[in-house]
Amino acid sequence: MERKVIAQTLTLERSFIQPVVKAVLHTIIFHRYFGNITPKNNCILSSVTYASVDDTDVLDTVDEKVEELMQTLSATGESQSQLSLYFTETKPRKAWFSKSEEVICWEEWTLNVQSKVSKTERELNQMQASAEDQAKRAIFLIIQKIDKNKDHIPLIANSQGNPFPYHIDVNPASGLWSSMIKRAILPSIS
């Protein structure tokens, strides 16, 4: 099975990063959560509506990871970071005298987030309009990609809960050795 990788870049004013990234993550999870769900309708930036899974674990995980992303971004200047969302399945690994499980990543969504800082109120208004536009385009792209790409999704083996766990990773998109090593080690979920 081949891992599907989808990447998006968002360039946003710092105050709009949190709601837009939450909307993008919730939209992806909503469309890839194959268990029984209660949908929840949300609105950000006064004109962008998106669906999310009304589950405290999902809400808490997304909130925690978006907060972690915000901590990697500079509060005073321009900076960038990266957030990855992995969907996996667990399969039994066959060995002679032992039983083990193999975690296979079948889909990865990568958000490259670039933070901008507005200097005037006019810039802030322009960046809000840009944030709304980027959020709408990102959500539309997610729905479009999810509709088109279904061949790589594994068969659902059980009907209890979400059959495909997800993992969200936040790592600074910089040239630091520590972040490069972290990115090399963690996505080894293959």
β-strands 99-116, 4-13 pairing: parallel
Q: Distance (Å, rounded) from C-alpha 137 to C-alpha 18?
A: 17
The answer to whether the predicted template modeling score (pTM) of the entire model surpasses 0.95 is no
pLDDT for 103-131, tens place per residue? Answer: 888 889 999 999 999 989 999 999 999 99
Domain of 16 in residue numbering reads as 4-188
CA distance 183 to 172: 9
- 37 or 82, higher pLDDT: 82
The CATH number given to whatever domain includes residue 146 is 3.30.900
DSSP β-ladder status, 39-44 and 79-94 = unpaired
Q: Per the structure, how many domains does the chain have? A: 1
For 77-90, the pLDDT digits (tens) are: 899 999 999 988 88
pLDDT (tens digit per residue) in 7-33: 999 999 999 999 999 999 999 999 888
pLDDT tens sequence across 127-175: 999 999 999 999 999 999 988 877 777 666 666 667 678 899 998 545 4
| Cα–Cα dist 188/125, whole Å | 41
CB 69 within 8 A of CB 21: yes
Under 8 Å CB-to-CB from 142, ≥6 apart: which residues? 24, 27, 28, 31, 109
Taking alpha carbons only, the member of 146, 160, 151, 4 closest to residue 88 is 4
